Amino acid sequence: METINMKPKPQMPQINKTTIMVGLLILALILITGPFRPWVAVQAGHRGVVLQLGAVSGQLDEGFHLIIPVIQKVVAMNVQVQKAETSAAAASKDLQIISSKIALNYHVDPQAVSRVFQSIGMSYDVKVIDPAVQEAVKAVTAQYTAEELITKRQQVALQIQELLTQRLRKSDILVDAFSIVNFEFSQEFNKAIESKQTAEQLALKAQRDLQRIKIEAEQKITQAKAEAEALRIQKAEVTPELIRLREMEVQKQAVEKWDGKMPQVTGSGAMPFIDIK
């Protein structure tokens, strides 16, 4: 009688439910945070440039959007107002070297972010804005003398802003505000301006002094004429009757002041006083 050895069948390992839950959670985290995420959120003040297999295929507004994982990628571009400060050197109409500091507020056209990203990229401030500022400042500065750049600063700033607006608009960048922070001139020009101002102040002071002397002289002449006229009127009014009246007034005042006593004269050589009583 043969003995048959029966081997036990291998059993499949049992999978714990906890392990399954952990695995699903890890997969969910990978899908949410990893490159396989099927959605994207564009923050406020930004626009999303959609890249499909590396090529620009459109743009997204602010908010939540679904995308195709791996195939599509979204790059956020800022469309808020930004500030750029640039230093520019230029020559004036009278060949003075002017150093300017320019402040520019701008923003990317929200409707054209995909075109800006495709043609310029993210470094549009270096590639487009700075060269445009340099060119505009040189073009406008060359139309004015160094002194006019000071006296007509507002007009110069407005002209530079208009030129910048036209040139940056071609690159879908909009100008919001522009200002010239300061103009810096050479030391020789500053000394010349200072000397001119000093000379003008001295000339103005001399003119004022001359005007004051002239007015004082006219006042003295007017006063002398008035005194002469008053004296003439007084002389014209003096008559013998007036003179007699004045004498009588003097005598009356003397009598009123007399105390009734006759003066006594002493000393040698004096004439005796005769008492008429």
Shared domain for 88 and 73, answered yes or no, is no
Please indicate, yes or no, whether residues 134 and 53 belong to a single structural domain of this protein.
Answer: no
Q: Is residue 48 part of a domain?
A: yes
pLDDT of residue 48: 94
Q: In terms of domains, do 207 and 234 share one? A: yes
Range of the domain at 27: 23-78
Q: How far is CA 263 from CA 29, 203, 255, 260, 268, in A?
A: 139, 72, 14, 10, 16
- Collapse the DSSP code of 91 into the 3-class scheme (helix H, G, I; strand E, B; otherwise coil) and give the result: strand
Asked whether residue 151 falls in the same domain as residue 122, the answer is yes
**pLDDT tens-digit map of 152-172:** 999 999 999 999 999 999 999
**pLDDT at residue 140, as a whole number:** 94
Residue 191 or 41, more confident: 41
- For all residues of the chain together, what is the average pLDDT? 81
Across 99-122, average pLDDT: 93
pLDDT greater at residue 78 or residue 14: 78
Number of domains in the chain: 3
* Of the listed ranges 29-43, 80-94, 167-181, the one predicted with least confidence: 29-43
Residues 91 and 42 in one domain: no
Adjacent-strand bridge partners of 42: 63
Residues 152 and 112 reside in one and the same domain:
yes
Please say if the pLDDT value at position 260 is more than 80.
no
The Cβ-side half-sphere exposure at 169, using a 13 Å CA radius, reads 8
Query: Residue 5: which pLDDT band, with cuts at 50, 70 and 90?
Result: low
pLDDT number for residue 277 = 46
| pLDDT at res. 42 | 93
Convert the pLDDT of each residue in 199-238 to its tens digit.
667 777 777 878 888 888 888 888 888 877 777 776 666 6
Mean pLDDT score, 251-265: 67
Element (H, E) at 78: strand 72-78
* pLDDT score at 157: 92
Domain membership of residue 138 (yes or no) is yes
Is 172 inside a domain boundary?
yes
Q: How far apart are CA 60 and CA 48, in angstroms?
A: 5
**What pTM does this model have?**
0.58
Residue 41 belongs to what H/E stretch? strand 39-42
Q: Is residue 5 part of a domain?
A: no
Same domain, 99 and 180: yes
Give domain status of residue 196, yes or no. no
**Domain harbouring 129, CATH code:** 3.30.479.30
Is the same domain home to 104 and 160? yes
Q: Is residue 16 part of a domain?
A: no
pLDDT value at 11 more than 50? yes
Question: Are residues 99 and 144 located together in one domain of the fold?
Answer: yes
User: Does 162 lie in the same domain as 180?
Assistant: yes
Question: Mean pLDDT across the stretch 229-249?
Answer: 71
Helix axes 153-169, 130-141, angle to 10 degrees: 140
* % of the chain surpassing 90 pLDDT: 36
